[in-house]
Structure 1
Amino acid sequence: MATAMASASWADLLSGRNGVRSVALAGGTALHAVNIYVVTTIMPSIVRDIGGLAYYAWNTMVFVVASIIGATLAAALAGRLGGKGAYLLGLAVFSVGALVCAAAPSMPWLLAGRSLQGLGGGVLVSLAYVLIRQVFEPALWSRAMGLVSAMWGIATLSGPAIGGVFAQLGEWRWAFWSLLPAVAVLGAIVLAWLPSAPAGGERAAVPGGRLALLALSVLAVSMASLAASRALQCLGIGISLALAALIVRADRHAQVRLLPTGSYAPSRLRSLYLVMALLVIGSTVEIFVPYFLQTILGHEPLEAGYLTAVMAAGWSFGSMLSAGRDRAFGARCIRFGPLLMAVALALLAWQLQRPAAAAQGIGFGALCVFLACVGLGIGMAWPHLLTRLLEAAPAEEGALASSSISTVQLYAMSLGAAVAGWVANAAGLSEPGGVPGARAAALWLLGGFAPLAALGLPVARRAAPARA
């Protein structure tokens, strides 16, 4: 086996039948990822056309919550329908969502379409990892997973370009239509090359009750962002916290768990999850950055899209920079990541209050640096957080620990989007709106998330102590 692993090459993965199957599995992830950056870039154009600025963050929130549900259902669908059937179902749901978004006359219709896109996309992303073990030899698993992960980097470059071009032309609806040819090509490849047999003999169980509670907990925060009175806002936050407590209580004693044993008790495992969640929540300010850049600084949609991608590029660069380094370096990255993100968010909030200076020259360069450092903070810590998490989890729950990474990341992302929408609306994003509302929202959102990221500092010291 060791000899086979060593002899496997990229040519083995990307040629012949393996090559076509690689396109199918990586293509589903690429479709999902590109869609995220396309919509992030065109959202300012969408709200100018159909309204719904108060629901700006809901676009990401409903998409990510639906993605969690889709990702959780993927293994069960593969067991029932086979890899081919599950993949085609995911593509069909995603396509219906894209059609609804393209024809949406108002924000509620757009959110319905985004929910369908998230549900189908979540199935596609999770199926990529489920089916790798079914369609490739073990010697190719590592490279296949690397290829799938690389699709997020491609999305960082291509998504803002696609969305920005359609936004510049004033045709944001065509950004959704443009995804359908890619769906058709993927569907044809899947029909011809993916196996039809069910993936594994037993049907995977789905923790449906806890998934419903998870979705409701995020929805409660989002509803609070629309409430006019502080009392109703506090009620929404309280309901969200109560539902989160119910999820923890139910998961402790469940047969099919969301997180490994020991995740809820004081432990290094819990500290690692908390650092991951705080860093992901801090990064969700990304969804408002294109709007701030266009409204406050006057950037064109294409420029704003690529400036937003600088944050994602910082994550990718930080991961490549720190991955593979020794444990001492990794521990420093984990402890330094929350600090770097907190400082970068605070400086970004300050810079956006100086539109004349931030739009050109040294100020523009500083803006790019601050955006990159937000992503760099999480990127440098991320590979070491995941490595330590897999080490800290019980040996017999390795598969659960691996799947829990996506669960925690997506839940933190959806919760962060909901909280970001609440803060932005409370600060005046939609009322009074315009440039004053955007500047106030930028100050409170970025400035408020900075101390939130800083909360990860003491937790990170417990997760990665200086001396093991």
Structure 2
Amino acid sequence: MSSSPGVSSAADATAASWGTLLGRRHGAVSATLAGGVGLHATNVYLAATVMPSVVEDIGGARLYAWATTIFMVVSVLGSTLAGAVLAKVGPRSAYRWSAITLALGTAICAVAPSMPALLVGRAVQGLGGGLLFALCYSIVRFALNEELWPRAMALVSAMWGVATLVGPALGGLWSQLHLWRGAFWMLVPIVVVFSVWGAARLPAQSNDLAPLRIPWLAISLLTAAVLVISGASVTTSLIVNGAGILMAAVILLIWLWRERSTDAGVLPAATFGPNRRLGLIYVTMAALVIASTVEVFVPYFGQHLQGLGPLAAGFLGAIMAAGWTAGSIAFSGVRRRKALLIATAPACTITGLIVLVFVGPLESHALTTVLTVALGLLLVGLGVGAAWPHLLTDVLQLAGDRDQALAGASATTVQLTATAVGSAIAGAVTNIVGFTDPSHTADAARWLFAIFLVPAVLALATAWATRR
């Protein structure tokens, strides 16, 4: 006798619950995947926090920005390699060696006697972290049942929100003690534990994965686009910045054109099929991530416009990530109205940016101003987080069996590339306006929040189009 619809729905809800994901059967795997993303994310924010102390100790202020740039570029490289590595050696070995690479890069940073040596460490960190980040999303498909995918994606995505609190706090503590190297050393044993204990929790092989060729041309094009736009963004010249953005756009278009006609790419073939939904999902993801990169300058504006101290300004910047985390966890269980949620969530991000356009530039120490800025940031993150687990799940479901290894890795490649591009554009906007000049800081904030409404509106348009 078949079950009634009510009983079936209740059983499905139980099978997809947080208790099931975090229980005895799946808890260790979930912790391993969440831990991998958490380690990469914590390293991102911890390193950014200690960099002023690093420069004060070993010099190299001229290369300050490249500590982040080279890390992001190589992270994109690592994420594009993830699909081929996963298909070649299986989930367990891929996770283990990615974590070991991250630990090695972190150790190099800890002992670096000069800024060039630190950049080498950051490059190795980026390779291991980018691989680990992409693998954790990809392995969800092989290690967990399909009904758990939205919860699992919410969990691993939430690690970025956790990292925005843990990373700056730990980095700030070690910097306060004038022991910045300890911040890196602290991470090494934790990463090693996950490379041994965590990797052992994962499947050794996925026999249904077809071998993949390493997409060297795609890697080269994506790396070139990120380097061009990042290099141009450090100047104050409108012409140089504009040329850099235009050149990067051309390179990305060439990359997309190549993706349509090659078997050695980073996007599943379904992206360019007659059903446009997967392509629209990737555009929505990229646009939402770009819109959220305004958070890079929030701590600076918090200090120079709202009069906050460094710690308070740092936590103000973390509110957007907290909104992302809250949105992911709160809405990951939505099932019947998932398509409507994806289609409308970017409106929340747009609302938050509109609030920031009007309130973010105010030179006011009033508590109401700070709280309103915090509200705008929370709404931006909430809009991204509400849609994010479902966008990631759709990528896994729509990629097709032939491109299983590419599915999760492609999502992280899009996310990392969009983060690098968005951060570079944010840097270009603020540098052109002259944000370091106190008389122009408010103008820089206003222009930044206003311009980044454009990708948020694009995300709303493409997200709504996925409903069709």
Larger mean Cα displacement after TM superposition, 91-100 or 299-308: 299-308
CA deviation digits over 1:57-91, x for unaligned, max 9?
54444333322322232333244444443333212
Deviation at 1:194, TM superposition (A): 5.1
SS across alignment from 2:264:
coil
| Amino acid in structure 1 at the alignment position of 2:431 | N
Assess, with a 3 A threshold, how the Cα gap between structure 1 residues 237 and 136 changes in structure 2: closer, same or farther: closer
Q: Give distance in 2, aligned partners of 1:279 and 1:333.
A: 12
Give the equivalent residue in structure 2 for 1:330. Answer: 341
Match of 1:316 in 2: 325
Query: What is the CA–CA distance in structure 1 between the aligned matches of 2:130 and 2:322, rounded to whole Å?
Result: 22
Whether 2:358 is the aligned partner of 1:347: answer: yes
Q: Which moved more, 1:169-178 or 1:408-417?
A: 169-178
Specify the alignment match of 2:311 in structure 1. Answer: 302
Q: Any residues of structure 2 matched to 1:66-81 within 5 Å, and which?
A: 66-81=74-89
Query: Which residue matches 2:373?
Result: 367
**C-alpha separation in 2, matches of 1:273 and 1:233:** 25
Tell me, yes or no, if the aligned pair for 1:41 and 1:304 is still in contact at 8 Å: no
- 1:322 is displaced (CA, Å) by 4.6
Q: 1:256 to 1:5 in 2, by over 3 A?
A: farther
Displacement of 1:182 in angstroms is: 0.7
Match of 2:264 in 1: 256
Distance in structure 1 (CA, Å) of the matches to 2:92 and 2:407: 26
Report how far residue 407 of structure 1 moved.
Answer: 2.4
Equivalent residue number for residue 39 of structure 2: 31
Query: Cα gap change, 1:146/1:36 in structure 2, threshold over 3 Å: closer, same or farther?
Result: same
Q: How many residues align?
A: 455
Deviations 1:133-161 (A, max 9, x none): 55567787676555444433432442232
Give the direction of change, closer, same or farther, for the CA distance of 1:270–1:91 in structure 2 (3 Å limit). closer
CA change 1:149–1:350 in 2 (3 A) is closer
Distance 1:7 1:466 in 2: 27
Give the CA deviation at 1:389: 6.6
The corresponding residue for 2:233 is 225
Specify every segment of 5 or more residues in structure 1 that has no aligned partner in the other structure, as ranges.
none
Distance 2:147 2:383 in 1: 33
Which residue number corresponds to residue 444 of structure 1?
444
Question: Aligned residue for 1:114?
Answer: 122
The question of whether the paired residues in 1 share the 8 Å contact of 2:345 and 2:386 is answered with yes
Q: Please say if 1:428 is aligned against 2:439.
A: no
Q: What runs of 5+ residues in structure 2 fail to find an aligned partner?
A: 1-7
Distance 1:322 1:194 in 2: 27
Change (3 A) 1:163 1:419: same
* Residue 250 (structure 1) shift: 0.9
- Cα drift, residue 331 of structure 1: 6.1
Alpha-carbon contact 1:349-1:443 (below 8 Å) kept: no
* Residues 295, 116 of structure 1: alpha-carbon distance in 2 compared, 3 angstrom cutoff: farther
Work out the CA distance in 2 between the residues paired with 1:51 and 1:288: 23
User: Given residue 324 of structure 2, which amino acid in structure 1 is its aligned partner?
Assistant: W
Q: Is the 8 A contact 2:81 2:215 kept in 1?
A: no
SS of corresponding position for 1:366: helix
Q: Does the residue aligned with 2:361 lie in a helix, a strand or coil?
A: helix
Question: 2:467 & 2:16 partners in 1: Cα distance?
Answer: 38
Supply the AA of the counterpart residue of 2:84.
Answer: A
Alignment CA distance shift 1:466-1:174 (3 Å): closer
Q: Which residue type is aligned with residue 100 of structure 1?
A: I
Instruction: Work out whether residues 64 and 414 of structure 1, in 8 Å CA contact, stay in contact via their aligned partners in 2.
Output: yes
CA distance in structure 2 between the aligned counterparts of 1:321 and 1:8, rounded to whole angstroms = 14
1:266-297 C-alpha deviation (Å, 9 max, x unpaired)? 95655544343222112112223334434555
Contact 2:326 2:382 in 1 (8 A): yes
Contact 2:134 2:408 in 1 (8 A): no
Deviates more, 1:30-39 or 1:265-274: 265-274
For 2:317, the aligned partner's letter is T
Partner of 2:382: 376
Q: Deviations over 1:349-370 (max 9, x none)?
A: 413xx0xx23x42222223223
Measured at CA, do residues 320 and 204 of structure 1 come closer, stay the same or move farther in structure 2, by a change above 3 Å? same
What letter matches 2:361 in structure 1?
W
Q: Is the Cα contact below 8 Å between 1:13 and 1:140 reproduced in 2?
A: yes
| CA-to-aligned-CA distance 1:346-401 (integer Å, 9 cap, x gap) | 135413xx0xx23x42222223223223323433444565577778x576777456
1:195 offset after TM fit, Å?
A: 5.8
Rounded Cα–Cα distance in structure 1 between residues aligned with 2:272 and 2:142: 30
Check the 8 A contact 1:61/1:418 in 2, yes or no: no
Deviation at 1:336, TM superposition (A): 1.5
Kept after mapping to 2: 8 A contact 1:62/1:414:
no
2:440 is paired with a residue whose SS is: helix
What is the RMSD computed on CA atoms of the aligned residues? 4.0
Select which of 211, 215, 218 maps to 1:210: 218
CA distance in 2, matches of 1:228, 1:151: 35
Q: Which amino acid aligns with 1:457?
A: V
Cα distance in 1 between the residues matched to 2:393 and 2:30: 26
Matches for 1:74-89 after TM superposition, within 5 Å: 74-89=82-97
Whether contact under 8 Å (1:224, 1:233) holds in the other structure is yes
1:415 to 401, 410, 421: 421
Relative to 1, partners in 2 of residues 1:413 and 1:54: Cα closer, same or farther, differing over 3 Å? farther
Q: Is the 8 A contact 2:348 2:380 kept in 1?
A: no
The TM-score, its normalising length taken from structure 1, stands at: 0.80
Flag the 1:426–1:50 CA change in 2: closer, same or farther, 3 A.
farther
Amino acid at match of 1:120: G
Residues 84, 191 of structure 1: 8 Å contact kept: yes
